[in-house]
């Protein structure tokens, strides 16, 4: 039986090291939400499954999808690989009343807001710049230069997000459980405002 209520597109963004991925997983579990699988032109790793982690497609196919307006948003990352959110699966899940979560950057969120003005945007903030720098260091994934680059990029991304008008809410992740609960509460409030 089809749901009487239109679903909700939840757009989640935030800089590296802010805990966004953990919050997204919390939303999937608590709200029974669906995660939007992106398409990419980058090489598939041995651990990844096509159609589950990403849709792995060629550059030519990606360009064809752009020409056919099959993406809600897309971008080239670091001048190399392309990433995009396929439109059809998102629209299908929304039509069946699902909450669909997109984990994308500010540029992608702005494209989605244009394509789907009713999307609900949440940007995750660190408690402070010092704490963000500490988290980036503690991840142990990067050398000092890469950490400094990520930190500078994160500061820029936060400034752009705050001035963009794309996001409906900003949530500070000073405690993971509290941040997940806050995002869940915001989403439930937005859902309750959608006409049945």
Residue 78, sorted as left (phi over 0), alpha (psi -120 to 50) or beta, turns out to be left
For residues 58-74, average pLDDT = 96
- Cα–Cα nearest to 168, from 152, 185, 154: 185
- pTM for the model stands at 0.89
pLDDT digits (tens, 9 = 90+) for 81-119: 999 999 999 999 999 999 999 999 999 999 999 999 999
Dihedral sign, Cα of residue 104, residue 110, residue 72, residue 6: positive
Dihedral sign, Cα of residue 81, residue 112, residue 157, residue 127: negative
Strands, sheet with 81-86, edge to edge from the N-terminal-most edge strand: 55-56, 39-40, 81-86, 71-77
């Amino acid at each position: 039986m089809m749901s009487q209520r239109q679903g909700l597109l939840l757009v989640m963004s935030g800089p590296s090291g802010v805990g966004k991925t953990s919050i997204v997983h919390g939303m999937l579990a608590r709200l029974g939400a669906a995660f939007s699988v992106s398409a990419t032109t980058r090489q598939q790793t041995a651990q990844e499954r096509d159609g589950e982690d990403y849709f792995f497609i060629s550059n030519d196919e990606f360009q064809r999808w752009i020409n056919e307006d099959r993406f809600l948003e897309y971008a080239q990352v670091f001048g190399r690989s392309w990433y995009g959110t396929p439109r059809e699966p998102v629209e299908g899940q929304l039509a069946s009343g699902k909450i669909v979560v997109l984990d994308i950057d500010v540029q992608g969120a702005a494209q989605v807001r244009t394509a789907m003005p009713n999307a609900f945007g949440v940007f995750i903030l660190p408690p402070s710049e010092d704490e963000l720098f500490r988290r980036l260091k503690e991840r142990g994934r990067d050398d000092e230069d890469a950490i400094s680059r990520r930190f500078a990029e994160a500061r820029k991304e936060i400034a752009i997000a705050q001035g963009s008008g794309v996001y409906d809410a900003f949530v500070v992740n000073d405690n993971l459980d509290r941040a997940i609960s806050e995002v869940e509460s915001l989403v439930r409030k937005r859902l309750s405002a959608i006409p049945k």
